[in-house]
Amino acid sequence: MRSYLTAVCIVTLFLSCSTREEGGFTVPPDYRSWGKPVKKLLDYPVPGHGPTFRVIYANKTAFTASVAKNQTGTARITMPDGSIIIKEIYKKKGDVNKKEPELTIMVKNLKSKLSLHGWFYYVKHPGKPITRIDGRLCIGCHEAANEPHPYFDKNAKGIFRDYLFTSYIK
């Protein structure tokens, strides 16, 4: 009985801690009404995201991003706090916009010390709870967005792009 009670206490403590946990995220149900930084369906294989079909959505805050220049005139993009970018990943082209896709998500949170250079990274598999990725898995590759890379505008000048391959500057 005592061990049962101890177990209940531990579970209760765990639940109350995890619900208050900093950096939690719920996928906004209307995210498909948001704007897209890239209009076309992404269908080329990409390292880290596999041979898949991908659609990227971003909230209004993300599209208020602007370019700043430092004293030496070097451009730098810093995404506004509260920016949310959701990338849908489909295995089959025919499932796009139909089946519930896998989601990879980046949420800008400048206040939290737990964020990775200001971003939280999440993965959500269909029917499963969302998982925050705190290790090097996501950021390790997204650091490459701050250097010249082969995607979209290619960041030829290698400016700081706040870990994003896509651009939110009008």
Q: Binding residues for ligand HEC, per CB under 6 A?
A: 42, 46-49, 54, 56, 85, 87, 104-106, 121-123, 133, 137-138, 141-142, 145, 151, 164-166
Residue number, nearest CB to ligand HEC? 48
- Measured from the CB atom, is 2 or 128 closer to ligand HEC? 128
- Measured from the CB atom, is 21 or 43 closer to ligand HEC? 43
Q: Do 68 and 76 contact (CB within 8 A), yes or no?
A: yes
Q: How far is the CB of 77 from ligand HEC (least distance, A)?
A: 12
- Measured from the CB atom, is 51 or 73 closer to ligand HEC? 51
Tokens of 146: 């701050």
Q: How far is the CB of 3 from ligand HEC (least distance, A)?
A: 38
